[in-house]
Amino acid sequence: MTGMPTSSRLTAFMPPHVLERVASHGNARLKQCARNTLQADAQFRLRNASRPSARPADSPRPGQVARYIYTANRQQTLPGSLVREEGAPDSGDVAVDEAYQWLGATYRFYWEVFERHSIDDEGMALIGTVHYGEDYDNAFWNGAQMVFGDGDGELFNRFTAALEVVAHELTHGVIEREAGLIYADQSGALNESLADVFGVMVKQHHFEQTVDEADWLIGEGLLTERVNGRALRSMAHPGTAYDDPVLGKDPQPGHMDDFVQTASDNGGVHINSGIPNRAFYLAATRLGGFAWEAAGPVWLDALIDARLARDADFATFARLTIDRATARFGGGSEAERAVTQAWADVGVLP
């Protein structure tokens, strides 16, 4: 969809500014782990990713998931060795079994809420690789599968520990198939935000949480007890997820007045995503109940709308969500008012 080689479509969970901070403020081991992760990500974008010689079978039956979990055995090869496939019992490897469970929870969310049959809506097999690299501090979608590192164990736990991280990476595949949003500047930040939006809804759906019961955190449980922080991002209050001597302070803005102009991280895709993230939080909490019943369908309608351009900015997407809220719930509806007010409250629309 994006017109780029699949290998260059690495959409990683960990913001590079966090890894760069660790590389300069961590202890000797943490510095090396962060540098190795940054180097692995940079090299991955420059080389052709390994692919299964024969891709595993997709699911032929709507509503039935097809999962395949591999281990890279701490190497940087993909997909690695197959450990568990659909219907097989627990493997005893916690990362393998978490990836299997959370990919299943994500599939169930998309199917039960939106009747979407996997990433491509055609039953695409869900491939996950765990134990990628040596103390690799990241997770990513590469255009064909999801990949998860074990973390360094001092700052970051294994990346399969958080359901919303797994769902975030799978959703990058949905975004790629539906909109092909360019991974740079506002369209890239929107790409990251949409992955967070659906990632957090998957978590809320799995744990049956209302908007008031949910924590609205992305990467909750990913940080170890040594870190002064709750998660990597807060959708409710961007900029408050962590404040730590090694990681630094969460730099996400929650309003366009604080939009960060930067050349790093593809124009700040992991930083400025806080603005549309908060807009979704505001819309969902105003509507109450379960996020996937009102605000969620509006955001999905906008994502799959043929009018959403690959280089869409925040304002373009905001107007689409208002239009889709009107189409779904009616002009002057509570949903339309909530969505309109949310984008105004974060400064995207007047």
Active site residue ranges: 169, 270
Amino acid at site 180: G
Name residue 250's beta-bridge partners: none
Amino acid at site 312: A
| Tokens matching residue 329 | 């719930």
CA 220 to chain centre: 13
| Tokens matching residue 301 | 């309608």
Q: How far apart are CA 76 and CA 60, in angstroms?
A: 31
Q: Which residue has the tokens 């990241």?
A: 138
User: CA dist 304 to 111, 176, 300, Å?
Assistant: 16, 11, 6
SS3 201: helix
- If phi > 0 it is left, if psi is from -120 to 50 it is alpha, else beta; for residue 265 that is left
Helix 185-206 with 163-178: angle, nearest 10 deg: 130
Helix 94-114 with 295-303: angle, nearest 10 deg: 90
- If phi > 0 it is left, if psi is from -120 to 50 it is alpha, else beta; for residue 347 that is left
SS3 176: helix
Q: How far apart are CA 294 and CA 27, in angstroms?
A: 46
